[in-house]
Structures are given as structure tokens and as C-alpha cells.
Copies of this chain bind each other. A is one copy, B any other.
Amino acid sequence: MDKRMNVVPLRAPETAEEPDHAEAMRIAEALLFAAAEPLGREELAGRLPEGADVERVLVDLRELYAGRGVNLVPVAGKWAFRTAGDLSFLLARDVVEPRRPSRAAMETLAIIAYHQPVTRAEIEEIRGVATSKGTLDTLIETGWVRLRGRRKAPGRPVTYGTTPAFLSHFGLDAIDDLPGLEELKGAGFLEGRLQGLAVPTPSDDTTLRDDEDPLDDEAFAPLDPGDGPEDAQES
């Protein structure tokens, strides 16, 4: 569509036989603008000066507004002004809404980060509670977690891992910048006397591991539904 102002000169507005065509267009324009509902030909005809050519008024008005920010469009056999289709983005405004992940989501995210590639069952085993599908969905929505592949194991469960967006959000150069056990203890995140706790060295290498298959199927889209219980002890 030509986005430039499409200024259509009125066709012979001063011809003797239709001296009021321009005025009829003005009136129709105002009526259509002020109307709460689309107007039909008859409704318009009833308001236009005697002898006005409604059809021509509508055709000319439509042409006048073609290519403009507002168009005259037919709606269910009637006529109304509407924002031009290519400008419909103007009718929506994006409002940034800060949101904090739930505690369960943060814990799940942390486990995915350290233990990736990890399956839902493994996450649940580490956390000791069921992980709701919603929590994983939310994490995927944040763009921090992705579906990596499928574990070569019975049921072929999906494996989860972190994304480059995760690194950039948390200000990490690489996934192995995540502090290890000793650093976590040193920084006071873990109690020093804990024993028998292993913190893995995380890796988000995109190359699939030996025990991973690619996400060959198309059904990976939402989340694998059969991967675990839907209920959750967590909130």
C-alpha cells in the first residue's frame, strides 16, 4: 500500500448538476466520524441533503481516506472509519511488568543450571518435591530454560538446560562461572559443616551428551505432559 498521503482531488465538485457533492461528503464524513455504530446507506441518505448521491459520496470518501491513517471500511454492509490495518500496532501498547519468579521456580531454575542436562524426574529427586508443569512452563517463558533433547532412557524424558539469555540475565560469562561448593560455602550460602554434598560443575554445551537424543519429534512444543505428576507439593 502506498503509505503516502493519498490526496484525491474531488471529481468536478463544481459541476452544475451536483453543486452539493462536496458538502454531502463533509456531512457524511462528520456523521460517520460521530457515529457509535457503522452507518448504512439508508441512514446516511436520510441525513444528506436532498438529491445527494450516497453511492458516490461513499466511493469518494473511501478513496479520500485510502492509504491514510484512518480508512473508511465496509462493516457488515455498513460503513465506518477504522484505523488503517497496517497501523493496528498503534492500538496496542506494551507495558513492561516486572515479575519475580516464584520460590519454586527459582529453585528449579537453580537445579537446572547446576545439573543440566537434567530431566524433570531428576529435578524432583534433587528437590524432593514434585515440580509442577507450570513452574517449568514459566521458566521456559522467561527464556532462561530450554528443552535440550531426550534422555536415552525408558520413557525418553526431555532434558532441560539453560540458555544464553540465562547467562546474560544473571551476568555470567559462562555457565561454569557459577560458584562451586567451596565458593558457596565461603560466601555463606551453604553451611560449612555440611558433608557429602556434591555440587556439579555445570555445563550448558549445546552439543548433546552421549545419553541424550535430539528432540526429534514435533510434540516438544509445550512440555512433555507425561513426564511427571501434575500436582505439586510446592506452592
List B contacts of A87 (CB < 8 A): 26-27, 30
Instruction: Give complex CA distance A69, B69 in Å.
Output: 17
List B contacts of A67 (CB < 8 A): 26
List B contacts of A83 (CB < 8 A): 30, 33-34
Min CB distance A190 to B, Å, is: 36
Complex contact A69–B10 (CB within 8 A): no
A7 contact from B3, B9, B31, B70, Cβ within 8 A? B9
Known: A34-B83, A34-B90, A34-B91. A69 touches B3 (CB 8 A): no
Known: A5-B13, A33-B70. A26 touches B64 (CB 8 A): no
Instruction: Give complex CA distance A155, B111 in Å.
Output: 68
The reply to whether the CB of A167 lies closer than 8 angstroms to some CB of chain B is: no
The reply to whether the CB of A23 lies closer than 8 angstroms to some CB of chain B is: yes
Chain B: which residue is nearest A28 at the CB level?
B69
Complex contact A47–B90 (CB within 8 A): yes
Query: In chain A, residues 19-56, which have Cβ atoms closer than 8 Å to a Cβ of chain B?
Result: 22-23, 25-31, 33-34, 47
Complex contact A26–B7 (CB within 8 A): no
Complex contact B5–A68 (CB within 8 A): no
Instruction: Give complex CA distance A91, B8 in Å.
Output: 26
The reply to whether the CB of A114 lies closer than 8 angstroms to some CB of chain B is: no
Min CB distance A12 to B, Å, is: 12
Complex contact A5–B90 (CB within 8 A): no
Chain B: which residue is nearest A95 at the CB level?
B34
Instruction: Give complex CA distance A47, B25 in Å.
Output: 30
List B contacts of A29 (CB < 8 A): 68-70
In the complex, given contacts A7-B9, A29-B69, what are 10 additional A-B residue pairs having Cβ atoms less than 8 angstroms apart?
A3-B22, A3-B26, A4-B10, A5-B25, A26-B84, A27-B87, A30-B70, A31-B90, A33-B81, A34-B91
A-B contact pairs, 14 of them (CB 8 A): A4-B10, A5-B25, A7-B7, A7-B8, A26-B68, A26-B84, A26-B87, A28-B69, A30-B84, A30-B87, A31-B90, A33-B69, A47-B90, A47-B93
